[in-house]
Amino acid sequence: MEFKDFSNKIDKWDQRIIIKYNGFGGRPLTIILKFFSFFGRETLWLFLITFYLFVWYDPFSLSYISATFLTGFILVLAIKQTIKRKRPYEKFEEGEINVLERKPTSRSFPSWHSYNIVSQGLLIGLVFLRSPWITILILLVAVIVSFSRIQLGVHYPSDVIFGSIFGIIGFLIALYLTGPLIFKIVTYLEKFVVNEKQYHQINPMLLNNIGYFLLSFSIFLIIFLLAINKTIQALLKKNKVKV
């Protein structure tokens, strides 16, 4: 079988599945899946990176979460820009696909949400907590997150399947290559920190240093505003049309 024929079969299967499950379960299930979908967003992991850097300093968690995120950012972004697959709602006729969340602007293949929840889930379950049961539980959540992307009308099944596969690859790269490298860089930079380092506890500078508190708060605020930026723009656009 030639690659083109195989690709066409996958594409037809993708279209059949997304038409079947887009909006599946109605509004109640959509609300639940929107909640689960959040666990695949970059916002959550950026919050955690900032948390382990400024609030609860943990160089190991900081390094490996950052490594997994950055590995995915490079890997997924490169593939998205190479493949340039259109989103389902861009390919189908208007009205055939109901987009049940704000429309993403990036390309469709692979799913960034699936990459995030699988790669970070394996990191948390196998490396941080070292619990096979929690790992299985997180991977079940990953299945729900991946399905949510199909149900919400923003991804094809093959997008989330390959996003999950790349998540496993990204986890292994972070575990054996980028994670140890970033950890060495972080621990080396600790030598240049003037204040005494406080590990695995709330950083006292948050209470004792107003400048440090404002810096930390500003970074969290920026991440939050970037996350809701498109929502704000949509509301402003809607209000403008009303006027």
Examine the pLDDT at 243 and tell me if it is beyond 70: no
Contacts of 107 (CB under 8 A, 6+ apart): 80, 81, 83, 84, 85, 86, 87
Within 8 A by CB and 6+ apart from 213, the residues are 205, 206, 207
Domains, the chain, ranges and CATH? Answer: 39-242 (1.20.144)
**Residue found under tokens 């340039």:** 84
Q: Reply yes or no on whether the pLDDT at 242 is more than 90.
A: no
Question: Beta-carbon neighbour count of residue 144 at 10 Å?
Answer: 17
pLDDT tens, residue by residue, 54-103: 999 999 999 999 999 999 999 999 999 999 999 998 888 777 888 888 88
What is the pLDDT at residue 94? Answer: 75
SS3 of 239, please?
Answer: helix
Instruction: Confirm if 115 and 167 have CB atoms less than 8 A apart.
Output: yes
Determine the 3-state secondary structure of 58 from DSSP.
coil
Q: What length does the chain have?
A: 243
**Amino acid occupying residue 190:** E
Residue 3 CB-half CA count within 13 A: 0
- pTM for the model: 0.89
Radius of gyration of the chain (CA): 20
pLDDT of residue 104: 84
Give 14's contacts (C-beta < 8 A, 6+ positions apart). 156, 157, 158
- Residue 163 · residue 114 · CB < 8 Å: yes
Is the pLDDT score of 233 beyond 60?
yes
Among residues 169, 203, 167, the alpha carbon closest in space to that of 50 is found at: 203
The fraction of the chain above a pLDDT of 70, given in percent, is 93
